[in-house]
Amino acid sequence: MGECILQEIQLNQFGKHDVQIDQSDLVYNGYFKIVKYRFRYRLFAGGWSKTVERELFERGQAAAMLPYDVANDNIILIEQIRIGAMVANVEPWQLEIVAGIIDKDETPDMVAIRESEEEAGLLVENLIPITSYLSSSGGCSERIHLYLGQVDVSTASGIHGLPKKSEDILVHIVPREMAYQWVLNGKIENAASIIALQWLMLNVESLR
């Protein structure tokens, strides 16, 4: 039987110093920003690339949290209209976990706790970091900090959201297993919710 030889995989041989930004221009400044970059970067085969032009959607950073009640094995999902879903020709009202953009002088933890109260009327008893990831690094700068928040779902109900943000948010109490079935059958479509629910399914016993 042949011997299996594992070769070392070399990752991240380049870094920030291997990119040269020649120019950046703000081309749109509204609810979000779009910046056009001209840059060059080192090539794996050696040398430098030609100048590349890319428009980048500057959304900033965000925090998202899956509210979970360990005692009765229920989670909270919120439902609200999403323009991106509508334009993508899928269901405009999306089932999601609570989330919000991180403002200046806020930490991701602070935003997760604040959004839990604003969007679902929930107080967080314990906040557990799950991961941090780039939502679409090919054209967007957004980084999402993902959490699980231990809560008492008996306090959750009704319609929430801030009128000044044009938010109209409906709260749902959902059994954990049912929510995961909604991931499997495509009823839940956004990345933060899918990742958080998959993490919960893998770690639920340790939480108990």
Task: List the structure tokens of 180.
Answer: 């995961």
DSSP alpha helix (H) spans, the chain: 83-87, 108-120, 176-184, 191-207
Burial class (CB in 10 A: 0-12, 13-18, 19+), 179: buried
Q: What span, in angstroms and rounded, lies between the C-alpha atoms of 145 and 98? A: 12
Other CB atoms within 10 Å distance of the CB of residue 121: 16
Domains of the chain, first to last: 16-58 (no CATH), 61-207 (3.90.79.10)
Q: Does the pLDDT of residue 2 top 70, yes or no? A: no
Structure confidence by residue, pLDDT tens digits, 53-73: 999 999 889 999 999 999 999
Task: List the structure tokens of 27.
Answer: 């081309």
Structure confidence by residue, pLDDT tens digits, 90-133: 899 999 999 999 998 999 999 999 999 999 999 999 999 999 99
Structure confidence by residue, pLDDT tens digits, 15-47: 999 999 999 999 999 988 999 999 999 999 999
Task: List the structure tokens of 79.
Answer: 């439902």
DSSP character string of 127-174: EEEEEEEES-TTTB--EEEEEEEE--GGG--SEE--GGGT--EEEEEE
